[in-house]
Amino acid sequence: MAATLLELSDFSVQYATSRGKVRALDSVNLKIGKEEFVALVGESGCGKTTLGLAAIGLLPPRSATIAGGSISYKGVDLSKLKPGEMQNYRGSEVAMIFQEPLTSLNPLRRVGEQIAEAIVLRIKKRDPTSKVKGAPRFPGLRWKLSPGLKSEVEQMLTLVRIPDPEHIVDRYPFELSGGMRQRAMIAMALSQQPELLVADEPTTALDVTTQAQVLKLMKEIKDKLGTTIMLVTHDLAVASQVADRVVVMYAGQVVEEADVREVFSNPKHPYTQGLLSCIPTGTRDGKQLTPIKGTIPDLTVKKDACLFQPRCPYAMEVCSKKPPSLFEVGKDHRAACFLYGK
């Protein structure tokens, strides 16, 4: 396997809420290697977004606490970073794009200015003494980009295949379509040449055609630039289109991990199997969709058992006695289920 870029070791995160402490992530073990395209898949509330935020150090400081374990990037424990180091880390090593591109871009700033801000950050981080002209001192004024900066912005826009970049530079986010906004966000994220790109449901707000285009773009980025991509999504179909490896999460834990083809042809964990039978196949073979019965567990309660057990058609006695660890079930294929180990 390629060198490990991001490593989570027994990583647990809790949120303080009015109902009590919610265990968003519970002893997660995960390794993401260089130039991998990993999809984190699971339903709402499974902790995949929390994992993504943790990778870029954007867990809400007031409510989230790391309850155990560690998350490391290139061997450096992220929780030990000082604020200044964290700011350096964000954007330049790990970048993130979000689900809603309209609200994730500053509505009062031109697209070009926002991308230029990222480019200037890249330059300043590499060379703090650089005299490159940043945004104007008075934040409300328009930033007239220098020709060099402007052409760099246009290059980034071309990279993400936005048509007519010279004019897009001066447009505001509300003037672009959803797909173009997302591309602009990707351009902004790539401006600092990060090694890891975390994408949190980037296509959920887009229509199916645009979705396919953006996913294709992301795959291109991985191939051309060698960027490692961690895609967070609830949609298995999306994962199947672009990912190399799929990590299935449930209730804050990793339940299955495998090559994308393996997961789809040979799912081992009952939850994964349930998810796959939920996907409408688009064929008229008369089979009914079988939803998974039951609901996700209450994450405020710590259980010393398999969290999926109440909904599992194969539940055994041992499942309610202790939590399963990730057992090897094939080549680079792991599943957390007592069907495959003790």
Partner 1 sequence: MNLLRFLLRRLAFAVFVLFCVLTLTFILSHLIPGDVIQAWLGKEAALYPNVAKAYAARYHLTDPVYLQYIYYITGMLQGNLGISPSEGFIPVSSVIESTLPLTLQIVLLAFVMCVVLGVGLGILAARYHNTPADAAIRVFYLAGYSSPPYFIGIAILVVASLYLRILPTGGEYDAVLVSPSTSITGFPIFDALVQGNFSFAENASIHLILPAMTLALVTFGVITRVARSSLLDVMQADYIRTARAKGLDEGSVFYRHGVPNAAISLITISSLVMTFLLTGSVFVEFLFSYPGMGYYAFKALQGSDYPGIMATVFVFAAIIIVTNLVADILYAYADPEIRLG
Binding residues for partner 1, rule: CB under 8 A, are 56, 58, 83-84, 87-92, 95-96, 98, 100, 103-108, 117-118, 121, 125, 135, 139-140, 172, 174-175, 185, 188-189, 192
Question: Helix (H, G, I), strand (E, B), or coil: what is residue 336?
Answer: coil
Task: CB nearer to partner 1: give 64 or 329.
Answer: 64
Nearest-approach distance from CB 252 to partner 1, in angstroms:
22
What minimum distance in Å lies between the beta carbon of 56 and partner 1?
Answer: 6
Say how far apart CA 295 and CA 308 lie, in whole Å: 10
Q: Least distance (Å) from partner 1 to the CB of residue 59? A: 11
Q: How far is the CB of 177 from partner 1 (least distance, A)?
A: 16
For partner 1, which is the closer residue by CB, 32 or 56? 56
Distance CA 54, CA 232 (A): 13
Residue number, 63 or 320, with CB nearest to partner 1 = 63
Say which residue the tokens 């996700």 belong to: 296
Question: Among 327, 328, 310, which residue's Cα sits nearest to residue 319?
Answer: 310
> What would the DSSP string read from start to end of 228-241?
EEEEEES-HHHHHH
Residue number with CB closer to partner 1 (83 or 280): 83
Residue that is written with structure tokens 């064929």 in the block? 283
**Residue 220: CA count within 13 A, CB half-sphere:** 13
- Strands in 139-268 per DSSP E: 196-200, 228-233, 245-250, 253-259
Shortest spacing between CB 173 and partner 1, in angstroms: 9
Q: Name beta bridge partners: 253.
A: 250
Closest approach of partner 1 to the CB of residue 2, in Å = 25
Q: Which is nearer to partner 1, 140 or 282 (CB)?
A: 140
CB 338 within 8 A of CB 329: no
> Which residue's CB is nearer to partner 1, number 94 or number 337?
94
Distant-in-sequence, close-in-space partners of 148: CB < 8 Å, separation ≥ 6: none
CB-CB neighbours of 322 under 10 Å: 12
Nearer to partner 1, 67 or 135 (CB): 135
Shortest approach of partner 1 to residue 122 CB, angstroms? 9
Q: How far is the CB of 341 from partner 1 (least distance, A)?
A: 39
* Strands lying side by side in the sheet with 4-17: 20-33, 4-17, 64-73, 76-77
96/299 with CB nearer partner 1? 96
Contacts of 158 (CB under 8 A, 6+ apart): 165
